[in-house]
Structure 1
Amino acid sequence: MAARNKKPTRLDKIKLWLSPFLAWPMRYLNRLVYFLGWMFLSFLLLIGTGLWLFFSSLPDVEQMTYSELRQQAEVRLESKLKKSSNSHHWVELKNINRDLLYAVVMAEDARFFQHQGIDYSALLDAMVANIKKGETRFGGSTLSQQTVKNLFLTPQQSYFRKLQEAFITRNLEQNFSKNEIMELYLNMAEFGPDLYGVGDAARYYFDKKPTGINAAEGAWLALMLPSPRRYHYTLYQNRNVTSSLKRKYQRILQGMHQSSYISSVQYRRYLSMINQVNWPKKT
């Protein structure tokens, strides 16, 4: 009975007085918390669905054999040459001169045999260059990344495609040897209009098999790789050897000389060949 007749305290009176004013804000606060909770769950669901779609869209490289990768490459090349009179002839790595192989490595990815598929220092350099120029270009791709692009992806430049490329490259490097990746790259790289692979490039430009290509010829072929259709016109048809191309040619041979792939005598002799107007001879 005494508890029932207990007088309300000052705090009870304050709560009673404030309750009409707090009812409206608390009701909307509860709704806001409920809404934010659903938004968070929806966001998690969206992220989960996106990740599932992303990873399910990637080729299962881990389950593929090298012969299946080669078949995938040949299908891709046949598709590219569908409307062309040119054909493609696959060349195994053992039938490619070491000088040609290392000239391409020096030109496109000097750390190919050291990195695990992605050269982060090259990516950082490309990022810094983009910031300085105020551009957004995707540079710093390794030979492994270029192989993945040629095998599975489109030439479209986007962050989504680069993310796909990075994941597939990691799997490719973990499941296949550097020599296998190199053979795929050298057979899929474009060296001119509808001209794919070092075998056909060696025959077209030098009328040689890839076993007979020396370091100078390999360095010249490597000059075509960044933009083969453009350089086929300027470098091969018009014989316009710019100063930047000469510097790159020298850098390739210098790297091969420093790595003891060619001698000092070969280095000096090969350097002068880029200045020969009729080299290589037009077929």
Structure 2
Amino acid sequence: MPKAKKQRTIARALLWTALLLGLPLGLLALTWLLTLPDVALLAKTNPGPTALMEHRQVLAQSQRHPAPRQWTWVPLTRISRHLQHAAVAAEDASFFIHEGFDWEGIKDAAIHNLEAGELKRGGSTITQQLAKNLYLSAERSLFRKAREALITRSLEHHLTKERILELYLNVAEWGNGVYGAEAAARHHFGKSAQDLSAEEAAWLAAILPSPRRYDPLRKTAFLSKRHQRIMKGMNRIPTSAPAH
């Protein structure tokens, strides 16, 4: 077979291979994108039970340890400014600056994980945590992380920082069956979220990495150290978000 004809045959084979492989992948990607949640609705509508809440409920039922869900929605104006600052200081100090992703935090987490030889830190921002809590499963996969990234970007595009923080504080897990700032404040301190002191807010924020493992009233060495760090960080959080 002449060289030119052989090259054309190879080129056609590669083209058909690309089409056969690319078309299904393209359709899969299109379907995937079309099934992303419409986060723009969250600008004016509060969400119902989140994916995390549903997952916890199914898990509890399967283990025959169902816990009543404690969850009361309150506007950001009825959540102590101390708790707003404490949550940001604890989970995402650059929340009011970044656009959904803290690249420095991601880099630091990657270095830490590399040195530790395992995935111990995620570098997730408040917006990423909100995306995961609202819509995603607990599985760890590249597809889920990619979906989380797309939802995160959409949240930042459609919502103000104040609304993202309001949503986050209302759906965050703060104990076994305890969700949101109001339920957390009443469950742990017997008061409303708007009446939390700076100290109490910092204790609540301190348990956010593992809210079902730690209790703000049982002050372990880990929690005490984290509480001190949060108290210092709260003073550096802006009193309001810059223009979105």
Aligned residues: percent identity?
39
1:204 corresponds to which of 176, 187, 193 = 187
Distance 1:260 1:40, change over 3 A: closer
Q: 1:46 to 1:77 in 2, by over 3 A?
A: closer
Conserved 8 A contact 2:50-2:135: no
- 1:59 pairs with one of 37, 40, 46: 37
- Counterpart-to-counterpart distance in 1, 2:43 and 2:189: 30
Cα pair distance change 1:45/1:258, threshold 3 Å: closer
Equivalent in 141, 165, 171 of residue 182 of structure 1: 165
**Are 1:147 and 2:130 counterparts?**
yes
CA distance in 2, matches of 1:168, 1:259: 25
Assess, with a 3 A threshold, how the Cα gap between structure 1 residues 252 and 117 changes in structure 2: closer, same or farther.
same
Per-residue deviation at 1:254?
A: 0.9
How far off its partner does 1:246 sit? 2.4
Alpha-carbon distance between aligned partners in 2 of 1:78 and 1:136, rounded to the nearest angstrom: 24
Counterpart-to-counterpart distance in 2, 1:197 and 1:176: 19
Asked if the contact 1:97/1:213 (under 8 Å) is kept, the reply is yes
Q: How does 1:1-283 map to 2 (within 5 A)?
A: 23=1, 31-62=9-40, 64-68=41-45, 70=46, 72-74=47-49, 79=54, 80=56, 83-136=66-119, 139-232=122-215, 236=217, 239=218, 241-242=220-221, 244-258=222-236
- Write the distance in 2 (CA, Å) between the matches of 1:46 and 1:219: 50
Say whether the 8 Å CA contact 1:73–1:188 is kept in structure 2.
no
Partner amino acid, structure 2, of 1:254: K
8 Å contact kept, 1:81–1:87: no
Counterparts of 1:142 and 1:25 in 2: how far apart (Å)? Answer: 56
CA distance in structure 2 between the aligned counterparts of 1:108 and 1:87, rounded to whole angstroms: 22
Q: CA RMSD in A?
A: 2.5
Aligned-pair CA distance for 1:86: 3.7
Q: Deviations over 1:213-256 (max 9, x none)?
A: 01110110111110111113xx64xx3512x3322111111112
In structure 2, do the counterparts of structure 1 residues 115 and 216 end up closer, same or farther at CA, with 3 Å as the change threshold? same
CA distance in 2, matches of 1:91, 1:177: 17
Q: Any unmatched runs of 5+ in structure 1?
A: 1-22, 262-283
Whole-angstrom distance in 1 between the partners of 2:236 and 2:18 = 57
Gaps of 5+ in 2: 59-65, 240-244
Work out the number of aligned pairs and report it: 231
More helix by share: 1
Report the Cα distance in structure 2 between the residues aligned to 1:102 and 1:250, rounded to whole angstroms: 14
Give the counterpart letter for 2:231 in structure 1: L
SS at match of 1:191: coil
| SS at structure 2 position matched to 1:190 | coil
Structure 2 counterpart of 1:54, one-letter code: W
